[in-house]
Structure 1
Amino acid sequence: MTFPKAPYHADVAAGPPHGRAHWVTTADGIPIRIGVWPEGTRGTLLIVPGRTEYIEKYSDAAVRMAAHGYASAVVDVRGQGLSPRATGDRKIGHVNDFSEFQADVDGILDLCTELDMPRPWHILGHSMGGLIALRALMRRPAVFRRAVFSAPMWGLQLTPHRRFMGWTVSAAAASLGFGEQSAPGSGKVADPAGAPFDGNLLTRDAEMFAWMKRQITTHPDLALGGPSIGWVWAALREMHACARAPAPVAPALTFLGTDEAIVSADAIHVRMGSWEDGTLEIIDGARHEALMENAVLRTKIYDRIAAHLNG
């Protein structure tokens, strides 16, 4: 198989030095961008980012995993990064059904197979990527040796009223053909490049926040705003379905910050409580992106991830 080279913005990436990206056409015909950092011999960590995220944002993770002997691969899932956007407005994140993301996971597996990335393979999913990775583990349990999750989106922090409105409004709007329109209330995240550090829900570390912001101001095509109505409807259905499915068998390590304000901590506690070989680690003071907190905390987290994968 041939996987053409894709753009890789090394000017805003942290490394490692041999990072590159490829285009991979999925089984349903979508050309998605996948980044690889082949440095490592102990195995490969396949990373599924959260909503709005992209390859270069996980170059710091690749550097830290390479220091522990692991190669890394990251996917721009459809509708994010440089992979094709589904709507006429690039700032709206849209997908009709979360099952479409599984074709993107299969794409990263195809590329890693072709490149003979070191085995065993493990999977890490952050936020929305944690929901996608959970489904991937359920679909293909023999592929991944171990799993890591960072604030996985197994539920959202919604009041009962907002949850009811989310289900009813998104379902009705999508059925009437408005699925690609911006979800109500998403205007506050429509301009990620203009978001201030003060009051952000992602990280307490100003340096990491500035680094992430510099990536999307230098390369605006990476930026993504709020979700579509169809994305909300699809996400609610997938979270509901996965919550009722048995936990996968792969040993799992999950990180959750004490200052989490986006995903449901209760849903994470429930899922990890049902995981036969699962560990939930609470990160004091961390917000939604524990992997993007200060350097000392990131070192501790990646040391813990490496120890988990080595086990």
Structure 2
Amino acid sequence: MSDAREHVLAGTRGTLFVHEWPHPHPRYVALLVHGYGEHAGRYEEVAGVLGEHGAAVYAPDHMGHGRSAGERVVVTDFEDVVTDVHAVADLARAAHPGLPLVLVGHSMGGLISSRYAQRYGEELTALVLSGPVIGAWELPGRLLALDEIPDTPISPASLSRDPAVGAAYAADPLVWHGPMKRPTLEAFARTLETVAEGGDVGRLPVLWLHGDDDRLVPLPGSRTGVVRLTGGGSPGHLTERIYPGARHEVFLETNRAEVFADVTGFLDRVLTA
């Protein structure tokens, strides 16, 4: 999308770089919340789909990620990241007062978005979670039990069945290709507990997307968190889409046209309700 704009905000831990994909006459605002080690620029295709659907789209690079300030991939408190995302929402609402606000969070962004919905759910019209890190995610505990965090970066092949996705990820200089860092793992563990104990999001419509071959954030562990977040997984408030054979990044999977159709169909139902 050639008309993308850039903003720089004062975040909780330094400057925050924000992407905007504007729309001349939007009917809603979509806020994209990216995952661990990556950046919002990887969501240009998602932004394009949402833009064609009628959204003005905003997406920050989180602290320590992409072009935002901070030591690379270090997040000592995810509450600060939630506060940063809320600042981006304020930016979007100032530009588009009165429009519905939809939050779309992937992976670590699903954890951030879930906590956002617990803190600011009254401001949201819908929540979309893609491969969310909530519920029973065992990786932080396993790594924190070690004396030294192994230098084992995320495998590009675990992202999508489309080899071009892994190749682009491996070549992206704004993606972190090193080991996870202990402060971030500790923050993950704390925030998983915080979200588990933070209550459900009431009547907020939630769409949960997950690949059943997601080896980074296994589906069964996320299901625990999604059900709890949605007050028992009520069909009236939770829409679930599980994709056979799909890996972690369903927005970049070989069946992403199906995924995008599920997202826009869900939003049509919510926005016209």
Tell me which interval the TM-score lies in, with the shorter structure as reference length. Answer: 0.7 to 0.9
Q: Distance in 2 between matches of 1:271 and 1:209?
A: 28
Equivalent position of 1:116 in the other structure: 96
Equivalent position of 1:223 in the other structure: 175
SS of 1:44's equivalent in the other structure is: strand
CA drift of 1:155 comes to 4.1
TM-score by length of 1: 0.77
Q: Distance in 1 between matches of 2:158 and 2:113?
A: 22
One-letter amino acid of the counterpart of residue 229, structure 1: R
SS of 1:243's equivalent in the other structure is: helix
Equivalent position of 1:49 in the other structure: 34
Gap change, CA 1:203 and 1:114, over 3 Å in 2: same
TM-score by length of 2: 0.87
SS of 1:140's equivalent in the other structure is: helix
CA drift of 1:31 comes to 1.0
CA drift of 1:246 comes to 2.0
CA drift of 1:223 comes to 2.5
Instruction: Say if 2:152 is the partner of 1:188.
Output: yes
Q: Do the aligned residues in 1 keep the contact of 2:144 with 2:182 (CA within 8 Å)?
A: no
Which deviations, in whole Å up to 9, do the C-alpha atoms of 1:183-233 show, x marking residues without a partner?
612x121xx7xx6x5xx211110123333344x1xxx2x131332101101
Decide which structure has the larger Cα Rg and report it.
1
Aligned pair partner of 1:71 in 16, 35, 56: 56
Q: Distance in 1 between matches of 2:64 and 2:8?
A: 14
SS of 2:36's equivalent in the other structure is: coil
SS of 1:142's equivalent in the other structure is: helix
One-letter amino acid of the counterpart of residue 210, structure 1: A
Q: Mapping of 1:87-166 within 5 angstroms?
A: 90=72, 93-116=73-96, 119-155=99-135, 157-158=137-138, 163=141, 165-166=142-143
Gap change, CA 1:166 and 1:211, over 3 Å in 2: closer
One-letter amino acid of the counterpart of residue 188, structure 1: T
Equivalent position of 1:81 in the other structure: 66
Aligned pair partner of 2:225 in 253, 268, 271: 271
Aligned pair partner of 1:257 in 205, 211, 217: 211
Instruction: Say if 2:249 is the partner of 1:302.
Output: no
Q: Do the aligned residues in 2 keep the contact of 1:41 with 1:118 (CA within 8 Å)?
A: no
Q: Do the aligned residues in 2 keep the contact of 1:31 with 1:84 (CA within 8 Å)?
A: yes
Gap change, CA 1:247 and 1:137, over 3 Å in 2: same
Q: Distance in 2 between matches of 1:302 and 1:278?
A: 17
Gap change, CA 1:137 and 1:32, over 3 Å in 2: same
Aligned pair partner of 1:247 in 196, 200, 203: 200
- Number of equivalenced pairs: 260
Q: Distance in 2 between matches of 1:118 and 1:70?
A: 13
SS of 1:210's equivalent in the other structure is: helix
Gap change, CA 1:24 and 1:204, over 3 Å in 2: same
Equivalent position of 1:208 in the other structure: 165
CA drift of 1:29 comes to 5.4
Q: Distance in 1 between matches of 2:123 and 2:83?
A: 15
Q: Distance in 1 between matches of 2:54 and 2:247?
A: 28
Q: Do the aligned residues in 2 keep the contact of 1:254 with 1:280 (CA within 8 Å)?
A: yes
Q: Distance in 2 between matches of 1:228 and 1:131?
A: 18
Aligned pair partner of 1:290 in 244, 250, 267: 250
Q: Distance in 2 between matches of 1:156 and 1:271?
A: 7
Q: Distance in 2 between matches of 1:113 and 1:188?
A: 40
One-letter amino acid of the counterpart of residue 206, structure 1: P
Q: Do the aligned residues in 2 keep the contact of 1:203 with 1:286 (CA within 8 Å)?
A: yes
In the alignment, structure 2 segments of 5+ residues that lack a partner are none
One-letter amino acid of the counterpart of residue 192, structure 2: M
Q: Distance in 1 between matches of 2:13 and 2:189?
A: 25
CA drift of 1:54 comes to 1.0
Aligned pair partner of 2:240 in 280, 283, 300: 280
One-letter amino acid of the counterpart of residue 307, structure 1: G
Pairwise CA RMSD of aligned residues? Answer: 2.2
CA drift of 1:116 comes to 2.3
Gap change, CA 1:56 and 1:240, over 3 Å in 2: same
